[in-house]
A and B are shown apart, each in its own frame.
Chain A
């Protein structure tokens, strides 16, 4: 099996690479590339993302044909795709970080700044927080409700259809931290930095 981590200059993806290689051992082939043909021939794709919504969308668009290839992979062919952090946020129609920016539009909704309730809460939301699993998701197999995950973000994804939400986390409000829509999965937290429990989520995705 081939799992491709999309390398599109979205910031630091080394931790994602290391964690997937750790879980895959020698059984699964982990590729790190933006080569369109390699993505097309993959069984699964991981879309990481660091920095701002705009910088990630710009980086995706700067690779000729990449957005079309990802659309074909995830929307037309319905093959499994996991977005992490801004990778998840880009599923939205629109993001409001820096400037209004169009997203991939795979899951209707918007990405806006976390309401910190007049500075009552610090931003970024950094650290370990418990997740509340509100819908069974394939990537949460053997993951207990209230497990701790590592978060590092100031913006949140607000999907229109609440049925796609698989987990939330409690900060200044209930923040959507995981979504599942058919073959499309996303986590706002960083499974690659969430210790053994995070590696289990990665393993669940690889073993889908």
Chain B
């Protein structure tokens, strides 16, 4: 039976961890590679890096991080943030990323998803959708949530599936950072409308939230950053909890 995945996400800026594990005994607490290794040793099913480097001159730092991580972590590695074109995807894959997540560029230039899924295979193309509730629908935003698009999240999700995306990473902007739990309605609505796996993101504050994402949101995978960062619970604890609730996980 296929297991539900637990994915810790590390926010990386200028090659350093911004939101990572808050462990005191780390040699270098800001090194994403060391933190990724701790996560993979702890049972993470995948590792996700979100590069939030703002300035262009520091954008190359992520390549070095990915390259070093892929030599030490032997679980799948997804990298997103600032991916603008096929060349960026190619470069990340060449550095050892297994999947690349694409947000703004997928909205601005949907053709790029068609092109890149043909070139690299759907299996490595993840489309990241940042959505905010608007009346009884959800609108997608780009540029790290700063830019309104007027585009409906459900329609866009369907379009991305048709364009060749292999997975969708759905973040609720209303919930992100609130620790109030995933926007289950958003996750489940998208899940009902597509037939590719969904990764739920945004809002995890406790273990029940992970359970809700899988049980009610029907997400194939659940992603969290802060809760792992602040040590609210470990990946192992998350898996033991889900297992005790009858959710299939890799233990």
Where the two chains meet, the residues of A that have a C-beta atom closer than 8 Å to any C-beta of B are 11-12, 14-15, 18-19, 21-22, 50-52, 55, 116, 119, 122-130, 148, 150-154, 170-171, 192-196, 198-199
User: Nearest Cβ distance between residue B113 and chain A, in whole angstroms?
Assistant: 15
Where the two chains meet, the residues of B that have a C-beta atom closer than 8 Å to any C-beta of A are 1-5, 40, 45, 70-71, 74-76, 93-98, 120-124, 166-167, 195-197, 220-221, 250
Residues of B close to A122: CB separation below 8 A? 195-197, 220
Bound form: Cα–Cα A153–B166 in Å: 10
Q: A123-B195, A129-B3 are in contact. List 16 more A-B contacts (CB 8 A).
A: A11-B120, A11-B121, A12-B97, A123-B196, A124-B167, A126-B167, A127-B197, A127-B220, A128-B2, A130-B1, A148-B3, A150-B76, A153-B123, A192-B74, A193-B76, A194-B75
B1 contacts which of A12, A124, A154, A170 (Cβ < 8 Å)? A170
Chain A at the B interface: mostly helix, strand, loop or mixed? mixed
User: Nearest Cβ distance between residue A60 and chain B, in whole angstroms?
Assistant: 16
Residues of A close to B195: CB separation below 8 A? 116, 119, 122-123
Bound form: Cα–Cα A128–B167 in Å: 15
- The 9 residue pairs across chains A and B that have the minimum distance between CB atoms: A51-B121, A12-B93, A128-B250, A14-B96, A148-B250, A128-B3, A152-B123, A129-B2, A122-B197
Task: Supply 13 A–B pairs (Cβ within 8 Å), ascending by A.
Answer: A12-B94, A14-B70, A14-B95, A14-B96, A15-B98, A21-B71, A124-B166, A124-B167, A128-B2, A128-B5, A152-B123, A171-B2, A192-B74
Given contacts A127-B220, A128-B2, contact A12 B71 (CB under 8 A): no
Bound form: Cα–Cα A119–B121 in Å: 21
Q: By the criterion CB–CB under 8 Å, are B123 and A126 in contact? A: yes
User: Nearest Cβ distance between residue A174 and chain B, in whole angstroms?
Assistant: 12
Bound form: Cα–Cα A196–B74 in Å: 7
Q: By the criterion CB–CB under 8 Å, are B70 and A18 in contact? A: yes
A199 contacts which of B74, B95, B97, B120 (Cβ < 8 Å)? B74
Residues of A close to B40: CB separation below 8 A? 195
User: Nearest Cβ distance between residue A107 and chain B, in whole angstroms?
Assistant: 23
Residues of A close to B1: CB separation below 8 A? 129-130, 170
Residue of B whose beta carbon sits closest to that of A198: B74
Bound form: Cα–Cα A52–B124 in Å: 12
Residue of B whose beta carbon sits closest to that of A170: B1
Given contacts A122-B196, A124-B166, contact A12 B45 (CB under 8 A): no
Residue of A whose beta carbon sits closest to that of B45: A128
Residues of A close to B221: CB separation below 8 A? 127
Residue of A whose beta carbon sits closest to that of B120: A11
User: Nearest Cβ distance between residue A86 and chain B, in whole angstroms?
Assistant: 9
Residues of A close to B98: CB separation below 8 A? 12, 15, 193
Bound form: Cα–Cα A66–B220 in Å: 39
Residues of B close to A194: CB separation below 8 A? 74-75
